[in-house]
Copies of this chain bind each other. A is one copy, B any other.
Amino acid sequence: MPQRPAKKCLHCSMHRKTGNFCSHLSDAELENLSNKSRTATLKRGEALHSADLLTWPVVAISSGVISMQHLLEDGRKTIAAFFMAGDIIDMRGISSRNRGHLIALNKTDICRLSPTAFEQISETNLDAQRVIWSNLRTQNYRAMDHSADLAKKQALEKLASFIFECRGRQVVDICKNSVIIPVRRIDLAEYLGMQPETVSRCFKDMETRGIIEFKSISHIKILSIPTLRRIANGDKNTQNMRPSCKVLSYG
């Protein structure tokens, strides 16, 4: 007698939201996967230990933010990627070589998926397979976009891009102009390859130029999407967009 859906999945966002892997499983598959998997809640700063990742290399995130962090010899730290609700971290076959540490930036609910059950589902359930695949592809192209941002953009431009990235990723969008920054300034700085001080200055700059408005420290309202877009795209002529006439800066 299959109780459907598996009890512990009932309130999990991974199962509830279409577009996520778990919502494409049959009752039997979900039951099986659920029984063999382990949920957990991480506090800010807690890590997914590499020892655990060897036995549980596939982790689904149901809420919160997990970062992939790299550490340099002298203490410089970088966040290479954010994983958020719906993402599947798949460390199968990633050699134990220094791949960075997975560290929660928030209170985060995760589900360590049984590798065998996961593999079996991905082999037999084409629907689920496509979702997993698509998630991985998205992660991949997101990482490449991020590389492009880091490589040549200036601080202000990176921050503008980041606001759009957050907007695109947030699960509930209250409104097209409202963006929640789900991480601390420090984490943001490490993700964008800049200093917290610089992040602060850039936000301030956008605010005084009337492009964004802070509802709270982590809640932004975008006042001029076009201007922000142009900044993100590296357009240098956005200084004078406010007073409707565009002053040429040559000469």
Q: Chain A residues in contact with chain B, CB under 8 A?
A: 68, 70, 72-74, 76-81, 90, 92-94, 99-100, 123, 126, 129, 133-134, 136-137, 139-141, 143-148, 150-153, 157, 190-193, 230, 233-236
For the complex, what is the distance from the CA of A126 to the CA of B119, rounded to whole Å? 10
Do the beta carbons of A152 and B94 come within 8 Å of each other?
Answer: no
For the complex, what is the distance from the CA of A93 to the CA of B191, rounded to whole Å? 26
Chain B residues within 8 Å of A73, by CB:
230, 233-236
Q: Contacts A72-B153, A147-B150, A148-B78 hold; do A136 and B136 have CB atoms under 8 A apart? A: yes
Cβ of A190 to closest chain B Cβ, rounded Å: 7
Do the beta carbons of A136 and B145 come within 8 Å of each other?
Answer: no
**Nearest 9 pairs between A and B by C-beta?**
A72-B234, A151-B193, A143-B143, A70-B148, A73-B235, A150-B150, A80-B148, A80-B144, A78-B151
For the complex, what is the distance from the CA of A251 to the CA of B198, rounded to whole Å? 30
Do the beta carbons of B145 and A80 come within 8 Å of each other?
Answer: yes
**Chain B residue with minimal CB distance to A231?**
B73
Q: Contacts A81-B147, A100-B144, A144-B81 hold; do A152 and B193 have CB atoms under 8 A apart? A: yes
Do the beta carbons of A144 and B141 come within 8 Å of each other?
Answer: no
Cβ of A168 to closest chain B Cβ, rounded Å: 10
Q: Contacts A80-B151, A137-B92, A193-B152 hold; do A74 and B234 have CB atoms under 8 A apart? A: yes
Cβ of A81 to closest chain B Cβ, rounded Å: 5
Do the beta carbons of B141 and A99 come within 8 Å of each other?
Answer: yes
8 A–B contact pairs at CB < 8 A?
A72-B233, A76-B234, A78-B152, A80-B151, A92-B137, A100-B148, A151-B191, A151-B192
Cβ of A97 to closest chain B Cβ, rounded Å: 10
Chain B residues within 8 Å of A151, by CB:
78-80, 150, 190-193
Do the beta carbons of A147 and B94 come within 8 Å of each other?
Answer: no
Interchain CB contact (< 8 A) of A152 among B77, B144, B148, B230: B77
Chain B residues within 8 Å of A146, by CB:
143, 147
Do the beta carbons of B230 and A72 come within 8 Å of each other?
Answer: no
**Chain B residue with minimal CB distance to A71?**
B234
Cβ of A37 to closest chain B Cβ, rounded Å: 20
For the complex, what is the distance from the CA of A148 to the CA of B190, rounded to whole Å? 9
Do the beta carbons of B136 and A140 come within 8 Å of each other?
Answer: yes
